[in-house]
A and B are shown apart, each in its own frame.
Chain A
Amino acid sequence: MPGKLKKILGGLALLAVLLVLPHLLEFHHQDLLIFLTINVLVVSSYRLVTLTGEWSLIHAVMMGVGGYTATLLFKNLELGMWFTLPLAGVVAAMVAGLLCFPLFRMTQFYFLIGSFAAGEAIRLCWIEFVNPFGGTGGLSGVEPPLIGGIDFLEPVPYFYLTLAVVGLCLLILYRIEKSRIGLTLHSVHWKAPLAESVGVDTWRYRALAFIIGSFFVGIAGGLKVHYLGTITPNQFGVGFMVFILIWVIVGGYNRFYGPIIGVVVLTLFDESIRSFDEVRPAIYGAVLILSILFLPMGLESLPARMRQWMGRASAAASSRMTDG
């Protein structure tokens, strides 16, 4: 079968599975599916940011910026989801744009710490300024729409909605990566001096990746708050940021689908150890350490490594046969 046809059929099969899936699950797992889909957008948008080789620690807070924007717009201006979602993305992108100026004067270690500090400062502002952000208790009362008799508070309709929005965003992210912009980002990552020598303004491209990544994670924040109904500062703290890192690192970030694999596998894994609730963070910590030490290229590299390993095994076997 020609390659392109295979891909299309594969995509359709996946789509069919996704459409049927929520009906097969109990409510509790339906919720999980919705959050998983949202997190797929979170990690994919993070990957765009890391394409330039810089790892920021502010991504989780950007999701919160989108979420708070959606919440405030919904509660104060009574805008529906059609408006709050894109505006959530836009505001997150604008905040990211402003932060580019201070943050991108630093690289590597300093950028990491600086982005962490900026994110934490924003989060503390949500806590400190009870008006309008609600303080530690956050804000509540956000609801999804009621369109033509379909109540989107129900998990199944909301899942389809989320699937559609996330699917569209992923499509756009993928196209960006494959485009000239994406290729330039790669060059900034791997060969910054060389890129600069041909006139690439690395600052602009880093900023672009950061802003676009923040735009999409802002939308993810809006999606989350419209389902959950409440938003609190603790949802976007170090804990969640670390999860994002774990998903991206364990899944691998050299390919577009790497982080997606990471978030799906680890979320399923997380569900399976739900009974060990107390020790779950420790298990995550152990998973993180083990994957850094033993699988540094992530899960996405497994197929390639397995082929490699099998290739070696069969070569060894055949050499034994010829020897013997």
Chain B
Amino acid sequence: MSFSRRDILRASIAGAFAAGASTLPTRLLAANNTAKIGMNIPMTGDYAPWGLPGLYGCQIVADDINAAGGVKIGGDSYNIELVAYDHGYDTEKAVQGYKKLVLQDKVKMVMMLGGSTVASVLPWAERRKMLTTTLLPSDITPDSDYLIATCESHPLYNVTGVEYLAEKFPQAKTAAIVTNNDAEYGLQSAATYKAAFEVAGIDVIDVNLHGFDITDFAPIVSSVLAKKPDIFCMATSFYVTPLMEQLFHQGYQGKIISCTLDYYDEIIAKTSREFVDGTIFQFPDFDDPMLNQPGVNFPNPGDFDAKFRKAHPNDWSAVSWEYPAILLNWIEGAKAAGSVEPTAVLKALKSAKNPEFVFGEGRWWGSQLWGKDNAVVGRWPVVVVEGGKARIKEYRSVSGWLDKHKDVLIKHMKELGLRTV
């Protein structure tokens, strides 16, 4: 993929932002073809924060692209149209939604969240050769040709936070991990953190797993704090807020590291700014100046952030920019292929030695762990809360860590009973 196409894309979006989108002659828009992109995501229920904000983000990006005249793919201009289906994280509905998107709406690609909802659609998707994206590379199987994870590489990126922590706070020697007990999110994350801690020479003194029906976190936090860990690690983001509250009330003063820290303003409101400052996690706000560095492949992150917060003030979550990044990545693939058809786009994407990755240095990876190199890994930001605001401190290489230590990771995944090849 050449540098110049990316620049043109960025320039046109920037131009649209600057000019204020609405002045294109309708004749120009009407002449465009439409590329329909499906989103089979949870928009309601417990998993909604990892679906709905993604739709909002994609809408912003799609609107901007269309306002700038669409994208040129194989000699034709295409507008991007999003078709969303809410499966509420129910596997039956996910299957129904997927079939509807493919057979009725005739989409060219389906974006999904991941987990059991992806597993339920895979057999059908493979038989129909429909390109599907997920945020969880652990969904990849040796037989899933058409499933790719081009943005989030959950939970591999967690290793960067631990590396940073170990380097900057060498006096922290023990860690406790608290997470959900489900195989898709909690256990995957726990295994990764365990591996990362082992590599960093930090002793994991407790792994506390809890179910989804927990309403009272006081006993869990008490039990963990009784072991006096230097580091409290939250490998899940379903219950970060109540866990942080308990840590605050029970007077914890050690380091806190988490995978996500969604709605951290609320957390600060319930605890205090001093308490939350210094927490390390993995998901930046997009008005962060570090995102304007070269090597980051997201057009105008600051404008995106501003538009998002204006349209949806309380809905920014970790996935707000991830689905758009996947969409942009797909567009690059389509342009390289000169076609929107799933098989062609997949081939174009997979044939790129250095696939475009949102934070740079992308590489196809995954066969050692899941049987197929269908996940893109690269650099990932380490984010720390400072003065009540999330700030990227640095980027670290996930692929670099994996090259050196993937055996440790595989060992820990096997220990927790997770599927590895």
Contacts and interface: CB of A to CB of B under 8 A. Distances in A.
The answer on A and B forming one complex is: yes
Interface in A228-264: 228-230, 232, 234-235
B348 interface: no
Contact of B103 (A27, A136, A141): A27
Interface string B83-102: 00010001110011001100
A28 B91 contact: no
A140 B116 contact: yes
A153 B127 contact: yes
A130 interface: yes
Given A27-B103, A28-B100, A137-B115, A153 B182 contact: no
Contacts of B86: 277
A130 B181 contact: yes
Contact of A130 (B122, B212, B417): B417
A134 interface: yes
Interface string A91-112: 0000000000000000000000
Nearest to B116: A137
Contacts of B182: 130, 135-137
B183 A234 contact: no
Given A28-B96, A141-B119, A230 B417 contact: no
Contacts of B211: 124, 127-128, 136
B123 A229 contact: yes
- Residue among A127, A130, A228, A235 with the highest chain B CB neighbour number at 10 A: A130
Contacts of B180: 136
B38 to A, nearest CB: 14
A31 B104 CA distance: 14
A143 B91 contact: no
Interface in A116-171: 124, 127-128, 130-131, 134-138, 140-141, 143, 151, 153
B206 interface: no
Interface in A184-239: 228-230, 232, 234-235
A232 B95 contact: no
B411 to A, nearest CB: 17
Interface residues of A, number: 28
A138 B181 contact: no
Contacts, number: 75
A130 B100 contact: no
A135 B181 contact: yes
A230 B99 contact: no
A137 B123 contact: no
Contacts of B122: 140, 229
A103 to B, nearest CB: 24
A128 B187 CA distance: 13
Contact of B212 (A131, A136, A230): A136
Contacts of A35: 92
Contacts of A127: 181, 211-212
Contacts of B123: 141, 143, 153, 229
Nearest to A234: B90
A130 B116 contact: no
B373 to A, nearest CB: 21
Given A27-B99, A128-B181, A128-B211, A230 B124 contact: no
B120 A135 contact: no
B100 A228 contact: no
B287 interface: no
Contacts of B277: none
Given A27-B103, A28-B104, A138 B92 contact: no
A31 B119 contact: no
B46 to A, nearest CB: 10
A130 B187 contact: yes
A232 B117 CA distance: 10
Nearest to B102: A27
Nearest to A144: B123
Given A28-B96, A31-B99, A127-B211, A135 B119 contact: no
Contacts of A234: 90
Contacts of B184: 137
A137 B183 contact: yes
A62 B389 CA distance: 50
A228 B95 CA distance: 8
A133 to B, nearest CB: 10
Contacts of A229: 95, 119-120, 122-124
B249 to A, nearest CB: 28
Nearest to B118: A140
Nearest to A143: B123
A134 B187 CA distance: 11
Interface string A55-98: 00000000000000000000000000000000000000000000
B371 to A, nearest CB: 13
B263 to A, nearest CB: 22
B119 A235 contact: no
Contacts of B96: 28, 31
- Residue among A28, A124, A143, A151 with the highest chain B CB neighbour number at 10 A: A28
Contacts of B120: 140, 228-230
Interface string A25-43: 0111001000100000000
B236 to A, nearest CB: 12
Contacts of A130: 181-183, 187, 417
Nearest to B212: A136
B417 A28 contact: no
Nearest to B209: A130
Contact of B91 (A124, A135, A230, A277): A230
B194 to A, nearest CB: 16
17 contacts: A26-B103, A26-B104, A31-B99, A127-B181, A127-B211, A130-B182, A136-B182, A136-B211, A137-B116, A138-B91, A140-B91, A140-B116, A140-B120, A153-B123, A228-B91, A235-B91, A277-B86
Given A28-B103, A140-B91, 19 more contacts: A26-B104, A27-B99, A31-B95, A31-B96, A35-B92, A127-B211, A130-B181, A130-B183, A130-B187, A130-B417, A135-B181, A135-B182, A136-B181, A140-B120, A140-B122, A141-B123, A229-B95, A232-B91, A235-B92
Interface of B: 44, 86, 90-92, 95-96, 99-100, 103-104, 115-116, 119-120, 122-124, 127, 180-184, 187, 211-212, 417
Interface of A: 26-28, 31, 35, 124, 127-128, 130-131, 134-138, 140-141, 143, 151, 153, 228-230, 232, 234-235, 277-278
